[in-house]
Amino acid sequence: MSDPEEAEAEDRGPAQRAAGEVDAGRPAAAAEPGAGGGGARLRRFLSYLALAGPGLIAANAGNDAGGIATYASAGAQFRYRTLLFMVVVTVALVVVQEMSARLGAYTGKGLAALIREEFSVRVAGFALLCLVVANTGLVVSEFAGIGAAMELFHVSRYISIPAFAAAIWAVVVFSSYSYAERVFLLLSLVFLTYPLAALLGHPHWATVANNTVIPHFTADRDFIFLGVALIGTTITPYMQLYGAAGVVDRGIGPDEYRYERIDAVSGVIFANVISMFIIIATATAIGGHGPLTSAKDAALALKPVAGAGAEALFGVGLLGASALAGAVVPLSTSYAVSEALGVERSVSRSFAEAPLFLGLFTVQVVVGAAVALRPGSLFRLLLQTQVLQGVITPVILTFILILANRRSVLGEAVNGPRFRKVAWISVAGAAAFAAVYLGQSLLGLVGLGP
């Protein structure tokens, strides 16, 4: 290839290169007939496949230990009442993930770097503090998930949590964790059995449909508590960080963004359909059970699929999802903080070369494992960490929305008037739910709550 051709190839994005490689392997005469028909559609499809990933992975990250516990608890405690709530949350997540991906594609920067550049030091520091607290809460939930999963196999949390914490830390610090990541991701695919379990459980579909389109909310504290947890586990800040960072890392620019937008939106819809099936399956199997107190209770929803092996199947999936996120979430925090401060950030570096990056990762693993070891119900701890996410999430979403509304950041790709209204309603709704919960909690502390 000549120098001008090499330069042109470098300037093209992943989607353009993918389409070009398809044509490069065919004679010119063969490529011409499909230019306006099937050939063009094939190239568009291959271009989408070349970009698919950041949006799908980021959205499905919500179906981790805390997500499974929260969705299962929603079905067990309130049957189908939270389905419409999940539809609304899905719309909000589509809006948020699309903005995050667009920021990454049009600026070439992650959210942490943009916050550092666009806001004052104090404001940026507050945002980073919220992010660290939120993600540390997630790490706690992942280690609680590991403990809950291993208890199904009769292994004490006081053995399993320290052992997995040490293993996850060692894999990340001393070697590549990419192979372990693939293994854990494969194990977590077990949760795709929930849609099948929902179908085999024979729910009353008229009731399901009714609760999906007509509000059946209650104003009691337990419903508000679970609503905040659903927001926290579905629209978690980690997903927005990963969504933007994944777009930047893959070199997706404005020219390819139309494909990445499909990835972001379809990823959210796919992940939340799975989440709603978890609610339906659990509501059908053990609806009215009340708050879940153990992984064993949550596993009952898989009985239509696995029968007597439901506990083992659920345990394998929960372990895989928890171990995967137990490595990736603290790493995402380390990357974000290091990016914001402009210091070295890489798993291939030593502690001497990247002390803040690896030090922050280590602290999160240690704190997450230590908190998960405290006495009490691990499933209750999972829910509590998701509520913490729900309280902090509106803060991070506000920063994302302000950035996406600034023409100085996105130029012509800035939020339009209609999109801006929907986005503000989504963020305000999440904030209002969190405020109501905090208000109820404060009144309860002084003896005035329900």
Domains of the chain in start order, with CATH, are 52-445 (1.20.1740.10)
Question: 107-148 pLDDT, tens per residue?
Answer: 998 888 899 899 988 998 898 898 888 889 999 999 999 999
The arithmetic mean of pLDDT across residues 359-363, rounded, is: 93
Percent residues over pLDDT 90 in the chain = 40
Q: At 13, is the pLDDT very low, low, confident or very high (cuts 50, 70, 90)?
A: very low
Q: Where are the beta strands (DSSP E) in 6-131?
A: none
Pull the structure tokens for residue 246: 């994944």
Closest by Cα among 206, 218, 238, 269 to 74: 218
Pull the structure tokens for residue 413: 């790709």
User: In degrees to the nearest 10, what's the CA dihedral of 267, 270, 275, 281?
Assistant: -160
d(CA 141, CA 324): 12
Confidence at residue 53, expressed as pLDDT on a 0 to 100 scale:
54
The arithmetic mean of pLDDT across residues 13-39, rounded, is: 43
Statement: residue 103 has pLDDT above 90:
yes
Statement: residue 66 has pLDDT above 90:
no
Taking the model in full, what pTM does it have? 0.82
Dihedral pair phi/psi, residue 217, rounded to 5°: -80, 160
Asked which of 126-130, 248-252, 405-409 is least confident by mean pLDDT, the reply is 248-252
The arithmetic mean of pLDDT across residues 299-311, rounded, is: 89
Cα dihedral across residues 437, 442, 444, 448: positive or negative: negative
Confidence at residue 261, expressed as pLDDT on a 0 to 100 scale:
87
d(CA 55, CA 108): 16
Higher pLDDT, 345 or 52: 345
